[in-house]
Amino acid sequence: MDRLLRNALAIVVTAGALGAAAAPAALAAEQPVAGVQAQVRNPKTVKADAYNQARSILANAGSQTAAKSHPIHGKNDVPVSYGTGLLASARDEFRTADKNLPAGQKKSDMSIPHYNAIHNAAKVMGIDRW
């Protein structure tokens, strides 16, 4: 009986020590680090109006992919993959179109107006990663 009690107590103490050791690491992960941008998770859905507005921003910036995509109607929201796909397609299209620009006129391998359009469209939809 004493051996069973001692082993159970040892397991409880060990589990507590492991939990206490993991707690500072978990707290550190939540703390912002200077110079590092916080990663925000994308929403699960995007409002149809926000998607349509982002689509217009990209089409007005010259994205043929966005111009050819259909506006969303008859739905309140759409899966976030609609928005991330739109952003990724426009990004790739802009990078291809801007590949011959001088480095000083580019940001993230595309012209600064294209870069701004993509980030404005992403902000409208609430998308951080695409």
Is position 120 within any domain?
yes
3-state secondary structure of 47: strand
Number of domains in the chain: 1
Is position 28 within any domain?
no
pTM of the model: 0.69
- Helical axes 112-125 vs 48-60, angle rounded to 10°: 170
For residue 45, give Cα distances in angstroms to 74, 76, 78, 84, 122: 15, 10, 5, 11, 13
- For the chain, the residue count is 130
Is position 36 within any domain?
no
Cα separation, 10 vs 29, whole angstroms: 29
Is position 33 within any domain?
no
Contact 58, 90 (CB under 8 A): yes
User: What is the dihedral sign for C-alpha 41, 86, 100, 117?
Assistant: negative
User: Per DSSP, what are the bridge partners of residue 79?
Assistant: 45
Structural domain harbouring 86: 45-125
> Over its length of 130 residues, how does the chain's per-residue pLDDT go in tens digits?
566 655 555 565 555 544 555 445 544 444 445 555 556 688 999 999 999 999 999 999 999 999 999 999 999 999 999 999 999 999 999 999 999 999 999 999 999 999 999 999 999 999 999 8
Give kind and range of the element (H or E) at residue 20: helix 2-30
Contact 45, 79 (CB under 8 A): yes
Is position 22 within any domain?
no
